[in-house]
Structure 1
């Protein structure tokens, strides 16, 4: 039985679904996932006996090896990380492991309930997790080649709950010679607002792939770490969704056209907001900075920085403009630039969604996971189709019809209610309907809908108003 599943990875080149669980990795046939091709539960997946005994004696019960990270390196190799009885360990895997298990603090969580995110890019492993057992040292780390990490400062990361990590190849066809970016989405406790209670806010942060750290200031630290608030609200009601649950990057041919789709929750309402890469890029490349200011007889206040910003722009990647000034790598940057970005990692501007409002609102359904696919209809128009998992085991399929978003299908995935914890979209295997719009009707080939026009949509299937 596939018990205690933690992560999934689709490899369409080999028609394989890899499943990471407790002390084991399964390889399943993507054409028939009930058929097991192979499993790996060798010594790497069995925690060291001395560690297991130690943590049992201390009262920690989750001392197995929960496989949390599965990343494809190439057609033959995977990179696998597990908790390993509170001693995070990573290794390389084909179908059997390579026997190069390595210390992986900062790469993988210490226990399976900690939130984390990771991505493997051209021999570089990027991770967002905790660097210590207590979870008090949050870290965004690049390991393997040219290790670089975030500072252990609350102004950089303050009790974050990591959600997702994605690479955007912004160097492609870029006239400015810019670098690729790693984007990280998370929720953290805000430092810039004054409240009696902790206020959680959603963030999107980014670093440059070519970042090598500073020479004197920020040695082996990110010189390009910047973050901004990820806003999702209903402006007319002044109602804000503060907690991001999941994020999906819908990649398009031009990276500038790609869209981040995010699930947010507040009270019993779920919202989906969409963000254009162009907007995100402009906030980081053109926006103002925010920083702490000491005020007499008052705690530190965070205010927009109005002073002179050093050159080259703090937090920017090395591009043609920086190279023209003699700065070929981040180690060449002036100390004043590095000191500025060290003290001002937060942008003043928020990243606002497309249309300044959610594309979908739903009351009573708490969404947990989202994937999005782009399909071409019979009218040769393209449509973004969202698949949304709920906390009670349902899958909703939503699409935009004549400017309105509708849930056109609802599937019960599990017999007993339980949260959808992972969704993987196979672009080759999944069968999606061909859609076209005709006189206000959503028609489908391959999916018989019990309705045609929006007026006939049952309330349980349409977008629920507030």
Structure 2
């Protein structure tokens, strides 16, 4: 019996210690307890792209050799399947070039909607990228017979990461452009194609992340051209050898290249270091995904939300992830600052010489047009030469708050989407949905008063695997996908909050307590007269009083014999024990664990034991009793030696765990 008690004790301590170092979600909801819809076909794999079409109510899913459509309302309903496979001859030729049979299939890696409703769709097609169009008419999806080369639009290799964006039928891509995947290019396709200069100072072994458009022209007082932003990781030419950093690149939408210098090359290409300070000092924070939340009232107040990782190895158990946010106006300000230049000693220093006019990298505006610079073809050679040799800005782009909104250990953040939610009082709150590499989704908010907090984490996929895509619809549905499955989740589902207190204390902007129906429900479209919500401090004074009493379990223990009293909280909140109304402190006879209490009683330990969760919001303490035990103690054959042995072994387990964690994180 003693061995089994010690083994149980060690497991509990490990579970308790192992979860203590990361920012915890308030509640963890496992796959079996989530109300979601899942699509996973028997021959469905290699999922490579996702496209939400709210105008026709369909979710387009690009996979290996096919494009399928699912109903946006219920993704378990497949509405069509369009096959696009590779001929045996093309596949054989691909394999003769050293690629595997699996690699030589056709992976649909890009889909974008055009203004006429068609969808530009591109597939790797046995390492010969090819594009065509999908059409939706009369409820039927068909594929055009004609094709065009996709080289430069998507990578040859289906495993290569790339970024793309469609704006007004103009395609922007940042991808590898050759068979071996070594040449990476940021370009605009179409009637006036344009790309980056092939210099290491422009792009140095980049990993492309995402591309976003900021329609500056709509709000600019001087007619400034729209801005296009590319986020990436690359080798830092200005730092010590081998260091990789995050970057944001800005170019201008109407850039046509230079007339003599930088012909068909970006004349507006500028880049800056994107910083998200967390982890060990001196370690790189590498951007993983970026979401632009546009501010419709003031575009310059729009915010880029980005996920970062502190470790290059995705499998590292000791890496950290973070979310940082950046205001568009702050990024704009960095690109108006000083430039770095390469000195004769080989070091990058602040450029102190003359900066030509127009200011290098500037987007065309009314002042430039008045001086005769109507397009980039009119830029003087001095400005173009300066841009060619000075693409890097001195100032670093720093987060709005000066630090991350969230930091989490172990499972790495991958994708992020952000929803703007209006609460009952009319205030707007930004809710972040952040996926990780283990099939889980974090639902989080940030406020200046109490920082970042994870409201809940949801296990969307039963098997641990990276979530590769996140798409949020205006209907309040979140679509996520791995390589083998698609999940649909309502972001307005409040059913997991089972009481008024739980509903209000969670401070979920989507949810409020409907006192007429007696349940937690979505506030969107609800009447203010029937709904209560408290996002300021989670106060429950508005909740109706509850007369439900907790059941007390009678426990008969033997003196000096250790016994485990379990506690099963429904949240991840801190837990404490009370003995006869007073807070129980740890001691030789009371070992407090996150899953319960190890009690080695004497006769003075008889009484009522209560396990309760504790949540502090704005200085207000909220308690919730989870388990209650009425303990009676009788004579037995145990001894004080028994207690000492268990305590010593418990300490030994803790030391072993600390050693294991130390060696894993070295």
TM over 0.5, shorter chain? yes
- Residue 456 (structure 1) shift: 5.9
Query: Is 1:159 matched up with 2:205?
Result: yes
Q: Is the alpha carbon distance of 1:85 and 1:317 closer, same or farther for their aligned partners in structure 2, counting shifts above 3 Å?
A: same
Partner in structure 1 of residue 289 of structure 2? 246
Q: Are the equivalent residues in 1 in contact too, given 2:115–2:168 (CA < 8 A)? A: no
Shift in CA distance, 179/16, structure 1 to aligned 2, threshold 3 Å: same
Match of 2:465 among 402, 418, 435: 418
In the TM superposition, 1:87-236 aligns within 5 A as 87-94=128-135, 95-195=141-241, 198-234=242-278
Of 412, 423, 444 in structure 2, the residue corresponding to residue 366 of structure 1 is 412
Matched, 1:86 2:127: yes
Corresponding residue SS for 1:307? coil
RCO greater where, 1 or 2, for CA within 8 Å and sep 6 or more?
2
State the distance in 1 between where 2:252 and 2:472 align: 27
In structure 2, the partner of 1:271 is: 322
* Contact 1:13 1:75 survives alignment (8 Å): no
Give the Cα separation in 2 of the matches to 1:150 and 1:457: 59
Question: How many residue pairs are counted as aligned between the two chains?
Answer: 444
Task: Give the corresponding residue for 2:338.
Answer: 288
Aligned to 1:52: 91
CA distance in 2, matches of 1:306, 1:99: 58
* Alignment of 1:12 onto 2:59: no
Q: Is the 8 Å Cα contact of residues 441 and 453 (structure 1) preserved in structure 2?
A: no
The one-character-per-residue Cα deviations of 1:260-319 (angstroms, maximum 9, x if unpaired) are 0011111411110000001011111x2111122222xxxx22222111100001111111
Equivalent in 386, 391, 397 of residue 340 of structure 1: 386
Q: Are 1:248 and 1:372, in contact at CA under 8 Å, matched by a contact in 2?
A: yes
Write the deviation string for residues 145-183 of structure 1: whole angstroms up to 9, x where unpaired. Answer: 200011111111111111111111011121121011111
1:21 matches 2:71: no
Query: CA shift at 1:324, angstroms?
Result: 1.4
From the superposition, tell whether residues 287 and 369 of structure 1 become closer, same or farther in structure 2 (CA, over 3 Å). same
Gaps of at least 5 residues in structure 2 are 1-40, 136-140, 312-318, 478-490, 493-509, 513-532, 544-569, 574-614, 625-666
Secondary structure of the residue aligned to 2:469 is coil
The Cα of 1:193 is off from its aligned counterpart by: 0.9
Structure 1: tracts of 5 or more residues without a match: 459-466
The answer to whether the Cα contact below 8 Å between 2:278 and 2:322 also exists between their aligned partners in 1 is no
Quick check: which has more Rg, 1 or 2?
2
CA distance in 2, matches of 1:422, 1:411: 16
Q: Does 1:403 align with 2:446?
A: no
Whether 1:387 and 2:433 are equivalent positions in the alignment is: yes
Instruction: Provide closer, same or farther for how the CA distance between residues 416 and 312 of structure 1 changes in structure 2, counting only shifts above 3 A.
Output: same
Secondary structure in structure 2 of the residue aligned to 1:354: coil
Q: Displacement, 1:58?
A: 2.9
In structure 2, the CA distance between the partners of 1:227 and 1:438, relative to structure 1 (3 Å rule), is: closer
Q: Structure 1 residue 325: deviation in Å?
A: 1.0
| Cα distance change on mapping 1:442 and 1:109 into 2, 3 Å | farther
Looking at structure 2, the residues matched to 385 and 311 of structure 1 have their Cα atoms a distance apart, in angstroms, of 43
| Structure 2 match to 1:305 | 351
- The farther-off stretch of 62-71 and 46-55 is 46-55
CA distance in structure 2 between the partners assigned to 1:184 and 1:32 by the alignment: 34
Q: What root-mean-square deviation, in Å, do the aligned CA atoms of Structure 1 and Structure 2 show?
A: 2.2
**1:343-393 Cα shifts (integer Å, max 9, x gaps):** 111111111101110011112231111111010112221111011111111
TM-score (norm 1): 0.91
Q: Secondary structure at the match of 1:50?
A: helix
- 1:462 corresponds to which residue? none
- For residues 461 and 389 of structure 2, the distance between their equivalents in structure 1, rounded to whole angstroms, comes to 48
SS in 2 for 1:331: helix
CA contact (8 A) 2:153 2:173 kept: yes
Q: Check conservation: 2:127, 2:157, Cα contact below 8 A.
A: yes
Deviation at 1:73, TM superposition (A): 1.2
CA shift at 1:336, angstroms? 1.0
Cα separation, 2, equivalents of 1:124 and 1:193: 35
- Taking a change above 3 Å as real, the CA distance of residues 106 and 442 of structure 1, as seen in their structure-2 partners, is farther
